[in-house]
Every structure is written in C-alpha cells, then in structure tokens.
Amino acid sequence: MADKKTLTFALMDAPYENPRSTTAMRLIDIAVRRGHDVNVFAYEGAAALAFTEQKPHANAVHGRDVDEEDHPLPHRWIGALLGAAAAKGAKIDWVNCGLCVDERGVNQAVEGTRRGTPGDFWKFATESDNTLVIPTR
Amino acid sequence: MEDRTIAKYLLIESRDPFDSNDVAHWHGLARALVAEGNEVTLFLVQNGVFPARPGTHSAALSAVADAGVEVLVDEFSLRERGIATTALTRGAKASPLDVVIDQLADGRKAMWH
C-alpha cells in the first residue's frame, strides 16, 4: 500500500458506557482494512475494553438465553480488529495503561495487546502520522 | 501580503445541541477557522447528528455550512436514529465514517468534541 500511514487513537471510555467506544472501534476497523497501522492507547476506563473476563449474559426481561441475547463483548471486538489488521498486513499496537488496569483489576487482557504507560502515548503521538484523542465528557 | 499556509482541520462533533450548550462554541470555532482562510470539515457523529434533521437547531448548522465549512454527517449514526439521509438540513451531507480516516491519513488537524 503506497500511502500506508500510522494513526494513533487515545481512548478513555469504559466499556458499555458510551457510543464513543463503538465509534472508536469503527474507526480502527476502517483504518486497518485500508492497510494503515494503528496505535491505541487505552487510558482510564478504556483499559477495561480488552479485559477477557467480560462475560455474555442472558436477558430475562426479554426472555432470551445467552445465545439468543448474543451480548457484545468489547474484548472480542478487539480480537476481531487484531485479526482484520493481520489479514490486511496492517499492525495494531494496543497499549492498556498499566496503572489504569491495576486500579480496575482488569489485568487479563486480549492476547496481542500489551501493558504500558502514558509514555507510550507520547511515543505514539510523536512517531505517527496523526493522532485522534477521543476524550470522555 | 501576509505569507501563511492554509491549514486543514477536522472537527468531530459527537454531542447533541439539545444536551450540550457548547456545541455552539464548536460551530463558532469552525467558522472562525474558515474566516481565517483555513479549510474545515465538521463531521457529525453519534447524537451529534440530530441537528442535521430539520428542526430547532438546524439553522445554526446550515449557517456553519454557509460560512464555508464542509458539514458531513455519519450515515451509520443517521440510520441508527431513523433519520433519512435524503432529507437533511441545508448544507449537511451524509457521509461514511471513512472520511475521518481519510482526513486523518491526509494529516488534518483533528479534534473530537
């Protein structure tokens, strides 16, 4: 890909709280499917996006069992993004803020993501072609 | 004549003006950047798409477009909210989210609100 770029995203929202998380996943998906490399710095609540202990659940109100409910799990979305990137020859370097992870007890992260510090975000921002910070309100 | 380079900006608006008064400030920023000779895209996403549906806040959005700001509206967010892409307020145009990635890759200065 002649115009392959490296884009950095800083995410701050915890899973299941705001559509910003969904939009961020959509953006990353588009970027890697176009062959761009992507850096992600998951900060504050976003450090829980990659937590593999997220569990699907049934929905008693609507009478649906676990399979019927098919509850979305952000850690699976991240796994899918990593797979989509690999298929396109792109790379996702997903860093979960270590202090944020420890504070929340969400240390079990999706394989292919790693633990880091805000220093990684600084490095991402200085070395990538562009950076988008998606802040919490 | 002042020698200056035209900068390109991407302003992403995710907030509903019925819920957040500072959307008007974001519009003001977009207009001011264009008035200074810059190129600006205002991309509406999530609840930020509501003023693209003709209503109370639509005139303000059209005024931003009239000032020379490119106003694009995320097609997916419109569909989620049952807003027809064919009946948007004057100056607003439905667009795929891909535009954001294209403009980021192009080096636009991008800010999310």
User: For the segment B52-68, what is each residue's pLDDT rounded down to a tens digit?
Assistant: 999 999 999 999 999 99
Cβ distance B45 to A31 less than 8 Å, yes or no, reads no
Matching residue, tokens 């915890």: A14
Tell me the pTM: 0.95
Write the secondary structure of A54-84 as one string of H (helix), E (strand) and C (coil): CCCCCECCCCECHHHHCCCCHHHHHHHHHHH
Domain A6-134 fold:
Hypothetical Protein Ychn; Chain: A, (3.40.1260)
**What pLDDT sits at residue A2?**
60
Residue B62 has phi, psi (to 5 degrees) of -65, -35
In order of their start, the domains of chain B are 8-112 (3.40.1260.10)
pLDDT tens column, A82-97:
999 999 999 999 999 9
Q: A32 in contact with B at a CB cutoff of 8 Å? A: no
pLDDT tens column, B16-38:
999 999 999 999 999 999 999 99
Cβ distance B76 to A26 less than 8 Å, yes or no, reads yes
Q: B112 in contact with A at a CB cutoff of 8 Å? A: yes
- Burial of B7-32, coded b for 16+ CB within 10 Å and e otherwise, reads ebbbbbbbbbbeebeebeebbebbbe
Residue A114 host element (H or E): strand A113-116
